Amino acid sequence: MSPALPAGDPAPPDGALPASAATGADGRGFGVYLHVPFCAVRCGYCDFNTYTATELGGGASLASYAGTALDEVALADRVLRTSGLPSRPVATVFVGGGTPTLLPVDDLARLLEGVRGTWGLVPGAEVTTEANPDSVTPDALARLATAGFTRVSFGMQSAVPHVLATLERTHDPARVPDVVRWARDAGLSVSLDLIYGTPGESLDDWRRSLEVALATGVDHVSAYALVVEAGTRMAVQVRRGELTLPDEDDQAAKYELADDLLTAAGLHWYEVSNWARTPADASRHNLGYWRGDDWWGIGPGAHSHVGGVRWWNVKHPRAYADRLARGLSPAAGREVVAGDTAALERVMLGVRIAEGLPLADVPAASRPAVAGLVADGLVDGAAALGADGPRRVVLTRRGRLLADTVVRTLAA
């Protein structure tokens, strides 16, 4: 079961944005997220808004999906223009899911061309698609590169068969080095996504996954702690005692091992869960989220953020397709993020990245607490004092493990 949509205000049927959304837009980047809600199978831990490719029909089918999503691209263009937003080329495109590469390459190329033809792309734009290792071929990757994709993010998750089985992942881990090589031969940058903390995963299992990922020579790795969400099959297994979740010490040890091995291999953290070989290898699309840029999320359940206005689309693909077919915005609700809420989000997002949060962005009443965070070893003292430039809140490794504590302290 996918998570419920947030509570919020009703969204206008035409999707129009308030005039405040245009304020300062010229100084913000603009990205596009394209959600492909299809998977071959649903993994037991997943609570994303996804559906197996055969369970939907009509305007929500796999075959018709690209055309439906392009209808929202056209609507987005109308909304941005009529709401007074300046014309801005797209800096990053991210196709996520689900498993985007279940769509034919021609459909993925058509989606990208729709974005390019509507807004244009900045020179050197980053264009990423997620993929499962068993959902691509050398020819498909080469055709994606020809269409304008620049990057692929593979859901490796683990190199250990029993861990993949617990996660209900279907790919053969031995295929990962092959797909990385195919993508690089096609001229694509490659990221590998890993998950740690699966029930039954030992520290040696996790080490093995990291070593296999690094042996491929990739320039970007994401490593996320498994979070078991209510409503998933795995949550039911945990509740019944069929699976046992690791404790916080186990999770911390695995994070520290990841940081040790990745750093030793020349990849450096730039966000709490992401490591890149050079700044150019970092995910610019995700950095746009953390820096508060604008993005439009296309697809059922997709979230968008433009000028402090955040909204989310209806979840079910049929409802999504129906609204667009009737010329209506698919937005289910929205909120204007301002005041204390905006300040809190700036802290929450800003402290997660290695460049840190400018001290000026910390609420004035909370700034004295920074000294205590430095004393506790959670925040870098030199950065807080401005040794190399403006004063910033930069997490230490211990601070990364306790990032929620830092946020609560600074947002109090």
Residue 341 has a CB neighbour count (10 Å cut-off) of 12
pLDDT of residue 346: 92
Q: What is the pLDDT along the chain (412 residues), one digit of tens a residue?
A: 445 667 688 899 999 999 999 999 999 999 999 999 988 777 777 767 777 766 665 556 888 999 999 999 999 999 999 999 999 999 999 999 889 999 999 999 999 999 999 999 999 999 999 999 999 999 999 999 999 999 999 999 999 999 999 999 989 999 999 999 999 999 999 999 999 999 999 999 999 999 999 999 999 999 999 988 888 888 899 999 999 999 999 999 999 999 999 999 999 999 999 999 999 999 999 999 999 999 999 999 999 999 999 999 999 999 999 999 999 999 999 999 988 888 889 999 999 999 999 999 999 999 999 999 999 999 999 999 998 889 999 999 999 999 999 999 998 7
Residue pair 159/201 in contact (Cβ under 8 Å)? The answer is no
Residue pair 294/28 in contact (Cβ under 8 Å)? The answer is yes
- Under 8 Å CB-to-CB from 370, ≥6 apart: which residues? 359, 362, 379, 384, 393, 410
pLDDT of residue 60: 65
What is the secondary structure of 274-300 as a DSSP string?
EEESSGGGS-HHHHHHHHT-EEEEEST
Residue pair 344/411 in contact (Cβ under 8 Å)? The answer is yes
pLDDT of residue 52: 77
What class does CATH assign to 19-291? alpha beta
pLDDT of residue 95: 98
Cα Rg of the chain (Å, integer): 21
d(CA 153, CA 77): 27
Residue pair 65/300 in contact (Cβ under 8 Å)? The answer is no
Q: Which helix (H) or strand (E) holds 153?
A: strand 151-157
Q: Is the peptide bond before 299 cis (omega within 30 degrees of 0)?
A: no
What is the secondary structure of 351-395 as a DSSP string?
TTBTT-EEGGGS-GGGTTHHHHHHHTTSB-HHHHHTTTSS-EE-B
pLDDT of residue 229: 83
Burial class (CB in 10 A: 0-12, 13-18, 19+), 241: exposed
Domain boundaries, the chain: 19-291, 340-412
d(CA 24, CA 33): 21
Strand order in the sheet with 90-97: 268-271, 274-276, 220-225, 189-196, 151-157, 121-131, 90-97, 30-36, 294-298, 303-306, 309-313, 331-336
